[in-house]
Chain A
Amino acid sequence: MWLTSYILVWPVISAVILGILVVALWRDIRDAKRSGESMI
Chain B
Amino acid sequence: MQETEFFKLSGTTAILLLLGFYGATFLMSLMIGKRNENVDGYMTSNNAVGFGLSAASMIATWIWAASFYASATSGFKYGLSGPIHYGLWGALMILFIYPFGKRFRQLAPKAHTLGEIIHARHGTSSQMIMAVSNIIGSCISLMVNFTAAGALVSILSPMTFTQGVLITGLGVLSYTFWSGFRASVMTDFAQLTAMILSAVIIIPLIFFNAGGTSMLEANMWRLSSEQASFYSTQAILEQGAPYFVAVLAYAIGNQTIAQRLFAVREDLIKPTFLTATLGYGAVVIGLGMLGLLALFVGLEPVDGNMNNIIPQMASAYLPPLGIALFFILVVGSLSSTADSDLSALSAIVMTDIYAKNMAGGKPNPRRMLWLGRATMIIATMIGVIFASLRLDILVMLVFVGALWGAIVFPVIASFYWDRVTNRAFVSSVLSAVALFTIVRFQLIPIEGAIAVFFEICAAVGGAVVLGLMSFGFFGRRTALAVGTLALIVMLPFFVGTLRDYIVLTASLTAYGVSTMVCVALSLRSRERFDFSRLADRVTSFQRRLDTTATPSGIQPSAEPTRP
Measured CB to CB, the residues of A under 8 A from B are: 1, 3-4, 6-8, 10-11, 13-15, 17-18, 20-28, 31, 38-40
Q: A4, A11, A15, A39: which contacts B50 (Cβ < 8 A)?
A: A39
Minimal beta-carbon separation of B184 from chain A (angstroms)? 10
Q: Indicate if the CB atoms of B52 and A14 lie closer than 8 Å.
A: no
A13-B278, A14-B279 in contact; A24/B289 too (CB < 8 A)? no
Q: Indicate if the CB atoms of A25 and B200 lie closer than 8 Å.
A: no
Complex CA gap A20/B272 in Å reads: 11
Q: Indicate if the CB atoms of A25 and B282 lie closer than 8 Å.
A: no
| Nearest B-chain residue to A14, judged by Cβ | B282
| Nearest A-chain residue to B197, judged by Cβ | A18
Minimal beta-carbon separation of B82 from chain A (angstroms)? 12
- B49 interfacial contact with A, CB 8 Å: yes
- B207 interfacial contact with A, CB 8 Å: yes
Minimal beta-carbon separation of A31 from chain B (angstroms)? 8
From B45, B50, B192, B285, residue with most partner A Cβ within 10 Å: B50
A4-B212, A21-B56 in contact; A10/B51 too (CB < 8 A)? no
- B225 interfacial contact with A, CB 8 Å: no
Q: Indicate if the CB atoms of A8 and B55 lie closer than 8 Å.
A: no
Known: A7-B207, A14-B279, A25-B52; 7 extra A-B contacts, CB below 8 A, are A3-B80, A11-B200, A13-B281, A17-B59, A18-B196, A21-B192, A38-B46
- B182 interfacial contact with A, CB 8 Å: yes
- B283 interfacial contact with A, CB 8 Å: yes
Complex CA gap A22/B282 in Å reads: 17
Q: Indicate if the CB atoms of B56 and A39 lie closer than 8 Å.
A: no
- B189 interfacial contact with A, CB 8 Å: yes
Q: B49, B193, B203: which contacts A22 (Cβ < 8 A)?
A: B193
> Could you say which residues of chain B place their CB within 8 Å of the CB of A31?
50
> Could you say which residues of chain A place their CB within 8 Å of the CB of B55?
21, 24
Q: Indicate if the CB atoms of B286 and A17 lie closer than 8 Å.
A: no
Chain B 169-205 residues near chain A, CB threshold 8 A: 182, 185-186, 189, 192-193, 196-197, 199-200, 203-204
Q: A14, A26, A38: which contacts B199 (Cβ < 8 A)?
A: A14
Minimal beta-carbon separation of A33 from chain B (angstroms)? 13
Q: B185, B193, B197, B292: which contacts A40 (Cβ < 8 A)?
A: B185
| Nearest B-chain residue to A32, judged by Cβ | B50
> Could you say which residues of chain A place their CB within 8 Å of the CB of B289?
7, 10
| Nearest B-chain residue to A1, judged by Cβ | B213
Q: Indicate if the CB atoms of B52 and A24 lie closer than 8 Å.
A: yes
Q: Indicate if the CB atoms of B45 and A40 lie closer than 8 Å.
A: yes
Q: List 12 A-B contacts (CB under 8 A).
A: A7-B207, A11-B282, A14-B279, A14-B283, A15-B200, A17-B59, A17-B279, A22-B52, A24-B52, A25-B53, A40-B32, A40-B45
Q: Return the CB mask of B80-114 against A: 1 if under 8 Å, else 0.
A: 10000000000000000000000000000000000
Minimal beta-carbon separation of B91 from chain A (angstroms)? 11
Q: Indicate if the CB atoms of A24 and B282 lie closer than 8 Å.
A: no
Minimal beta-carbon separation of A12 from chain B (angstroms)? 8
A4-B213, A21-B189 in contact; A14/B46 too (CB < 8 A)? no
| Nearest B-chain residue to A28, judged by Cβ | B50
A8-B207, A38-B46 in contact; A18/B193 too (CB < 8 A)? yes
Minimal beta-carbon separation of B370 from chain A (angstroms)? 21
> Could you say which residues of chain B place their CB within 8 Å of the CB of A17?
59, 196, 275, 278-279, 282
Minimal beta-carbon separation of A6 from chain B (angstroms)? 8
Q: Indicate if the CB atoms of B279 and A4 lie closer than 8 Å.
A: no
Q: B41, B196, B213: which contacts A15 (Cβ < 8 A)?
A: B196
Complex CA gap A17/B46 in Å reads: 25
| Nearest B-chain residue to A31, judged by Cβ | B50
> Could you say which residues of chain A place their CB within 8 Å of the CB of B204?
8, 11
Chain B 254-296 residues near chain A, CB threshold 8 A: 275, 278-279, 281-283, 285-286, 289, 292-293
From A21, A23, A24, residue with most partner B Cβ within 10 Å: A21
> Could you say which residues of chain B place their CB within 8 Å of the CB of A1?
213
- B324 interfacial contact with A, CB 8 Å: no
Complex CA gap A14/B277 in Å reads: 11
Complex CA gap A7/B196 in Å reads: 16
Complex CA gap A18/B282 in Å reads: 11
Q: Indicate if the CB atoms of A11 and B53 lie closer than 8 Å.
A: no
- B216 interfacial contact with A, CB 8 Å: yes
Complex CA gap A20/B50 in Å reads: 13
> Could you say which residues of chain A place their CB within 8 Å of the CB of B200?
11, 14-15, 18
| Nearest B-chain residue to A20, judged by Cβ | B275
| Nearest A-chain residue to B203, judged by Cβ | A11
| Nearest B-chain residue to A23, judged by Cβ | B52
Minimal beta-carbon separation of B210 from chain A (angstroms)? 10
Q: Return the CB mask of B51-91 against A: 1 if under 8 Å, else 0.
A: 11101100100000000000000000000100000000000
Complex CA gap A1/B203 in Å reads: 17
Minimal beta-carbon separation of A38 from chain B (angstroms)? 7
> Could you say which residues of chain A place their CB within 8 Å of the CB of B182?
40
